[in-house]
Each structure stands twice: as structure tokens, then as C-alpha cells.
Amino acid sequence: MIPDPAGPLGRQADHLRAAAQREPLGLYLHIPFCLDRCTYCSFTTTRDRALQPAAVARLRREIRAWGEALGRPAVDTLYLGGGTPSLLTHEELAGLTADLHAAFDLHPLAEATLEANPGTVGLDWLQAARALGWDRISLGVQALEDGLLARLGRIHGAAQALEALAQAGRAGFHRRSADLMVGIPGQSLSKVIEDARTLVDTGIEHLSIYLLDLDKACPLKAEVEAGRLTLPTEDEVADVFEALQAELPRLGLPPYEISNYARPGAGSRHNTRYWERRPYLGLGPAAASQLGDFRWTESAVIPAWIEDRGTPEIQELDAAEALAEIPLLGLRLHRGVDWAELRRRAAAAHLAPLVDGWEARLRSLAREGLVHWAGDRVRLTSRGMLVSNGILEQFV
Ligand code: SF4
């Protein structure tokens, strides 16, 4: 979305600019193209590659417009996600990167991540991306069993995923992450653990473990609902997560967030900013932003986004909503939340009773072994992480 001075965000220009100048931002770019649609996917993406040149041109205009509107603010993390960013041509990636440098102050840049699909990368592309300054790569591996990958509609096999990780290393990506999925119909517990071990053996520093999410309509959900495929039970899924919680620290990747494991110090800085409620700007269809008291999401209809039609959804957070997000997001992190700091903020906003209520519930959960208090810090235990949804819903 191009910031419109007469629109709802334009009217908050001073507020947004001040927020963007207070501390470095995270910047997310969404590349909404894929070669094929995975059977479980509900992301904003399309196979219509004919739209790609117009979408990239549009994204480049957005980068320049937002950089100007916010006074060329400092950015310390970049994240190119999708969709499939590895479908960008060298020229497109170079153009986007040049615009980022022109529109934002990237001196504090500490991390520049791009997502890639193992079925679309080659050594040339990876080397070109690395030469442009992208220094961290996240590969959607999902599983290392060809039958399961076919069921998911992935365009790559297991060997191709491992080869992509190796090529990324050869191209100079020392910071490599892989995604692994749990809860795929037909997936065994022992195979998930074996896949995690195989991935760690490749030398990756980071592993994201996601539960297959079939909340929204998709072909895989239809197969399950028709009884042609069976999802693992909740207990089976919990067993897998419990086994991974035990195994990955032994392999040198302790958890730092509910779904993420990394070598010490190698957590995703960009994603950590979401859990710490630090400001971010998201550009591209369906991309979300949060600056100051405002949060908005761009149009998820790709042709409408390209033509700057469609109204962004804008939300102004009140003090209680903003306060609740600190434990809602912060308790996802293994290091938990500084409760004394939360109390200070609550007192300043005249919301101390709200925090008293949350604390009473968290103290009671501590007696059940789901939450751990250490002085003024509170965090979820390993068991608490397994049932985190039920614990965190009190903050929603
Ligand atoms: S590669 Fe990712 S974004 Fe693209 S269809 Fe598959 S799950 Fe969706």
C-alpha cells in the first residue's frame, strides 16, 4: 500500500514517523508467487507468474514511498518471505535490494533473511543472493520422506531439500534454517526425530517445527474430512513435540521459542522482534505492520494490491490491548517475560488490576508445573509449551 496522506494512515503520519524514528524497524517483504500450490497452504500466494513483474514493480514503489513517508528510518532486520522469494529473478532481487538501501538506513542491519523453496533454488541464485548481502536463509523442508512431501503437494523431494541446504552452505550462507512439519497424515514419531537429526547433521543453526494447520479450507483438509486421510491424534502429536524437546537440546539446538530451536545466539532476530513487540513494517499483499499504537494489514487480494485498490485493515490498540500482548507474545519465548517491567508499565497506564489477575492465574499454573517463576521473570515450562494455547488464551 502506498501511504495516502488523506487516508487513515496518512492522517497519523506524525505518529508513525515518530515511532519509526524511535528505534530500528524490522522490514518484511512478501513475495506472493509459488510454482505450485501445496495441499495444506492458506498463505497469500498465486501460481499466476504473469503478475510477477507488476508485483515486483509495485513492491519497489512501496519500499520507496514508505521510506520517504517515515523519514528514511533505520532498519536492523530484513525478511523476504512468501510465497516463494526464490522465484525472484537475479535482477528483481537486485532491484528490491537496491531500493531497500536507498529508502531505509540499513547501517544497523543485523540480519537479512530470505525464505526459499528447495525446489526452486540453484547455486547461481544462492550465490547472487548472498552477494547482495542476504546472509540468512530459511528453507521449507517440511519432511524428509518423499511420500509425505507428495501428500503435502511440495514440489521437491527429500534429496533435493538436503541438496538445497548443502548448496546454500556452499554459496556462503552460514546462517541456515529449515522448517519441519509435525502432524502430517502417515508421519511416524520415529521418522520426525530421524528427520530432525538428519537436518541438524547438515550443520544448520536453526530449526522451526510447525504443527500442520488445517484450520482454513485447503485440499488436504478436504481429504481428511472425506475420511481418505487420518490426522494423528492430539496425544500422538504431543508425544512428537515432547520427544523433540528432549532430543534437539542434546543435538545442540535448545528451544528459544515454542516452535523454534537454535544454536545459542542463533535465534531469528527478525521473528524475535514480533514476540518482543518491537516495531515492524510489512510490505506486500497481506503483509502486517505495527508502528506505535497502530497495526494494519495490506490487501490480501493480489491483483487489488498490485493496483493499490482495497482498503487496509487498520487497528488502533488501546493501552489494555497493548499491555496484554506483552505476555501473550513474550511467553512464547523460552526466556519468558520480565514481570516487574510489565507491572511498571501497567501502573503507568492505571491497569495494575489487570496484571494482578493474570499473575494469580500464572501462579496457579505454576503449581501445576506449567509455568515457572524465577524472581521477577516468568516463563512456560516444557509441559506448559505443549499446552501453550490454553495458557495464552487468557491474554487474548
Ligand atoms: S511453498 Fe509455501 S507459500 Fe507456496 S504454496 Fe507451498 S506452503 Fe504455500
Atom of ligand 1 nearest to the CA of 82: 3
Atom of ligand 1 nearest to the CA of 117: 1
Confidence of residue 305 (pLDDT cuts 50, 70, 90): very high
pLDDT at residue 313 in the model? 78
Closest residue CA from atom 6 of ligand 1: 38
The CATH fold assigned to 10-275 is: TIM Barrel (3.20.20)
Confidence of residue 311 (pLDDT cuts 50, 70, 90): confident
Q: Is the dihedral of CA 21, 22, 23, 25 positive or negative?
A: negative
Q: Which residue has the cell 499473575?
A: 359
Instruction: Using the mean position of ligand 1's atoms as its centre, give its distance from the Cα of residue 38 in Å.
Output: 5
Closest residue CA from atom 3 of ligand 1: 83
pLDDT tens-place string over residues 135-151: 999 999 999 999 999 99
Amino acid identity for residue 82 in this structure: G
pLDDT tens-place string over residues 184-203: 999 998 999 999 999 999 99
Q: Roughly what angle, to the nearest 10 degrees, separates helices 123-131 and 90-103? A: 10
pLDDT at residue 7 in the model? 79
pLDDT at 312 over 90: no
Q: What letter would DSSP give residue 74?
A: B
Q: Checking DSSP bridges between strand 25-31 and strand 280-283, what pairing results, if any?
A: parallel
pLDDT at 256 over 80: yes
Closest residue CA from atom 8 of ligand 1: 41
Q: Checking DSSP bridges between strand 377-380 and strand 136-142, what pairing results, if any?
A: unpaired
In this structure, the residues whose C-beta lies within 6 A of any atom of ligand 1 are 34, 37-38, 41, 43, 45, 82-84, 117, 140
Q: What is the average pLDDT score of the chain? A: 95
pLDDT at residue 289 in the model? 96
CATH number of 318-396: 1.10.10.920
Confidence of residue 11 (pLDDT cuts 50, 70, 90): confident
Confidence of residue 177 (pLDDT cuts 50, 70, 90): very high
pLDDT at 310 over 90: no
For the chain, the helix, strand and coil percentages under 3-state DSSP, each to the nearest 5: 45, 20, 35
Q: Say how far apart CA 376 and CA 337 lie, in whole Å.
A: 8
Q: What is the percent of the chain with per-residue pLDDT over 90, rounded to a whole number? A: 93
Q: Where are the domains of the chain?
A: 10-275, 318-396
pLDDT tens-place string over residues 206-215: 999 999 999 9
Q: Say how far apart CA 171 and CA 139 lie, in whole Å.
A: 14
Instruction: Using the mean position of ligand 1's atoms as its centre, give its distance from the Cα of residue 71 in Å.
Output: 34
Q: Say how far apart CA 273 and CA 110 lie, in whole Å.
A: 12
Grid cell locating 261? 530451536
Confidence of residue 10 (pLDDT cuts 50, 70, 90): confident
